[in-house]
Amino acid sequence: MADNKVFMDTNIFTEVVNSIGISASNCVLSKSVLDKVDTWDNTAVGKKMTKLLKDVLNSSDVYKDGSGMTLPVSFLKMRDSMINVDNAVASSLKVDVNKR
């Protein structure tokens, strides 16, 4: 490495981030199921089931937002930090190609 550079494979973070974003966007529960609960909403157990179903849908949205946005942003920041550290290390290296 006579050109005094240190190389680090940060592409893996980009691949992970893309995978997380795609997985999160595919994890969508349809709220249309709530359109069909009026039949059981007249019973005590039906009202509880509707509340549970709404809680599951809300949790799904929170998970999707967290894994689809927050987690990828964190990984990208970590990747960028590694690139900055790599650049700092690479520029601090002194290579003497004349010595053996």
Range of the domain at 37: 30-92
Total domain count, the chain: 1
Nearest Cα to 68, choosing from 18, 8, 11, 9?
18
The answer to whether residue 17 is domain-embedded is no
Task: Phi first, then psi: give them for residue 96, nearest 5 degrees.
Answer: -105, 105
Mean pLDDT of 66-82: 76
The answer to whether residue 20 is domain-embedded is no
The answer to whether residue 23 is domain-embedded is no
pLDDT digits (tens, 9 = 90+) for 17-66: 777 777 766 667 778 878 878 888 788 888 898 898 888 888 887 777 76
What is the pTM assigned to this prediction?
Answer: 0.46
CB-based contact 33:53 (threshold 8 Å): yes
